[in-house]
Amino acid sequence: MDNYFNYQDKKIYYRVNGKGNCIVLLHGFLENQNIWNYYSEQMSKSLKVVTIDLPGHGQSENIEEVHSMELMAQIVKELLDRLQITKYVVIGHSMGGYVALAFAEMYSKQTTGFGVFHSHALADSTEAKINRGRAIQVVKENHKNFISSFIPDLFTKENKEIYKKEIEVLQSESRKMEKEGIIAALYGMRQRTDKLKLLQNARVPVLFIIGKKDSRTPMELMNKQIGLPKHSEVLILEHIAHMGFIEAREKCLSFINSFTLNAFSVH
């Protein structure tokens, strides 16, 4: 059953499944909480699973012209406060990983563990910022064409055909987004800050899921980050690009579930 709450007079949609210790799963850019449906169904057997449509995505409304990672983290925290949940593991896919890092930095006392799923702790490089600017212009001109080309490129060449139906579902749901929400997220990602010190100073377990074929989080970049926390748990996926939650569903599910249960037992 879907639920919503108001944030700055805007509707934010979320779901809660299961009982016990809490994991928060955050979707990526152009996605929504439906990407976690299977994960939530399975993990809710032993955990309380909270998912949310980040602003401008899914059924959540746009909040501002720029949806910063900190703003999104504040919205997630508002939801958890309303649910009276005080301890949690927070894991995000892609853009959701950036939000998870901002959340862990802002609310470290309540965060039992956090993780990045095909994501990383660096700010946008100069080149990446230029590319975000170009993407914003393309979205302004025709956001549906942008979606059509963007999503398939997140899969390996082989998996584009294998997961053709899943890609079509992702594209169909993304096309329902307003271009203002897409642009607000692109601006937010472009202005995000470096979180390497967060990794270095982390006192809780940190999860990394990395695809060997993921050009957005190349191994040479991630190898430098996974050694920073005192307690890292790392899953490296062979022959997988940016969409491991689909391309290696059972392996990722098992890893995230084990990480979450371990994080609460360690804490």
What does R_g of the chain's alpha carbons equal in angstroms? 17
The contacts of residue 5 (CB under 8 Å, 6+ apart) are 11, 12, 14, 78, 79, 82
What is the CA 181 to chain-centroid distance, rounded?
16
* Ranges of residues in the chain whose predicted pLDDT is under 70: 1-2, 267
| Beta strands at 10-17 and 3-7: parallel, antiparallel or unpaired | antiparallel
Output the pLDDT for position 267. 66
Instruction: Tell the residue number behind the tokens 């270095």, with chain if given.
Output: 200
Output the pLDDT for position 2. 67
Output the pLDDT for position 266. 80
Output the pLDDT for position 210. 98
pTM: 0.98
Contact 101, 125 (CB under 8 A): no
Task: Give the type of residue at 216.
Answer: R
Euclidean distance between CA atoms 14 and 177, whole angstroms: 17
Output the pLDDT for position 1. 56
* Stated length of the chain: 267
Instruction: Give the Å distances, CA to CA, from 237 to 24, 89, 117, 228, 244.
Output: 22, 22, 11, 20, 8
Whether CATH 3.40.50.1820 fits 3-266: yes
Q: Specify burial of residue 84 (Cβ count, 10 A radius: 0-12, 13-18, 19+).
A: exposed
In three-state form (DSSP H/G/I as H, E/B as E, the rest C), the secondary structure along 136-195 is HHHHHHHHHHHHHHHCHHHCCHHHHHHCHHHHHHHHHHHCCCCHHHHHHHHHHHHCCCCC
